[in-house]
């Protein structure tokens, strides 16, 4: 096909994205460095010097790291089990994992409000069996956010891992066993390294997703802010668009740095080279 035609086919989409996505983003980033007609990094200095904002950044990071780790711990064995089942069972289990993933984040966060609330299921059970007298405050804490985010992103981890585990030859493990390695040793030395690419993809998806999530922290976090809800608050409630732009810039830079680093790591660790 002639080059001209190729470009003509892509042009409408490219123009659309440039005009409505790329330009607004670059103008937003630019606007954080130019205030009152001069170059400035004042906003970023303020960001790093404000304990309230630093606390928000800290909460976001902490919540995302915990979510990612728990998703790996829960997702790895689950994905391994799914990948070892027969085709029919595998299809059903994958569908059951995908269903919550495709369900609205509001529905899923809302279900945790019902479970974790002051009169929620967890507190009713705990007070019912006399373990506690006063209901625990779980909802509107970082713990609630972590639980909601794990629920939100665990399917992504499972699906990414099933993708790589399906392609691992079962004979490899049997070969290592027949050569005298214990099952666990064979698993750790053969299966785990082969899963690294899927593990990295899954971790990027979960970690970046948690860092930038809006709905779940908004519903389950209460007054606890994370960067996405803080961006919204600045833009829509406080009308501080300068600060909102700075947070947007930080979010974009952090997202792309993480994706870049993880991709580099994935290439390095990929056993297939």
Q: Which of 17/132 has CB closer to another protein? A: 17
Q: Which of 40/85 has CB closer to another protein? A: 85
Q: What are phi and psi of 271, to 5 degrees?
A: -65, -20
CB of 189 to another protein, least distance (A): 17
Torsion of CA 224, 207, 107, 248, to 10 degrees: 60
Q: Which of 218/224 has CB closer to another protein? A: 218
CA distance 198 to 94: 16
CB of 197 to another protein, least distance (A): 13
Q: Which of 49/179 has CB closer to another protein? A: 179
CA distance 33 to 41: 6
CB of 171 to another protein, least distance (A): 15
CB of 66 to another protein, least distance (A): 16
CB of 247 to another protein, least distance (A): 9
Q: Which of 98/181 has CB closer to another protein? A: 98
CB of 43 to another protein, least distance (A): 15
3-state secondary structure 1-52: CCHHHHHHHHHHHHHHHHHHHHHHHHHHHHHHHEECCEECCHHHHHHHHCHH
DSSP E strands in 90-228: the ranges are none
- Cβ atoms of 111 and 100 within 8 Å: the answer is no
Q: Which of 10/41 has CB closer to another protein? A: 10
Instruction: Give the position of tokens 């399917």.
Output: 155
Task: Measure Cα distances from 84 to 158, 179, 204, 249 in Å.
Answer: 13, 22, 24, 43
């Amino acid at each position: 096909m002639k080059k001209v035609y190729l470009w003509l086919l892509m042009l409408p989409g490219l123009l659309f994205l440039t005009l409505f996505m790329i330009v607004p983003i670059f103008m937003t980033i630019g606007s954080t460095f130019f205030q009152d007609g001069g170059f400035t990094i004042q906003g970023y200095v303020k960001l790093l010097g404000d304990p309230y904002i630093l606390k928000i950044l800290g909460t976001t990071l902490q919540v995302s790291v915990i979510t990612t780790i728990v998703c790996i711990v829960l997702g790895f064995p689950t994905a391994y089990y799914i990948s070892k089942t027969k085709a029919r069972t595998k299809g059903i289990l994958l569908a059951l994992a995908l269903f919550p993933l495709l369900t609205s984040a509001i529905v899923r966060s809302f279900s945790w409000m019902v479970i974790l609330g002051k009169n929620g299921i967890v507190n009713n059970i705990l007070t019912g069996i006399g373990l506690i007298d006063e209901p625990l405050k779980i909802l509107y804490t970082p713990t609630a956010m972590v639980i909601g985010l794990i629920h939100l992103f665990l399917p992504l981890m499972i699906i990414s891992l099933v993708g790589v585990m399906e392609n691992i030859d079962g004979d490899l493990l049997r070969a290592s066993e027949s050569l005298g390695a214990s099952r666990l040793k064979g698993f750790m030395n053969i299966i785990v390294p082969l899963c690294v690419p899927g593990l990295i993809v899954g971790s990027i998806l979960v970690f970046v997703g948690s860092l930038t999530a809006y709905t779940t922290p908004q519903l389950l976090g209460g007054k606890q802010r994370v960067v996405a809800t803080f961006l919204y608050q600045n833009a829509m409630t406080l009308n501080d668009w300068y600060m909102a732009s700075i947070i947007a810039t930080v979010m974009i830079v952090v997202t792309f740095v993480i994706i870049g680093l993880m991709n580099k790591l994935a290439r390095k660790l990929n056993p297939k080279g």
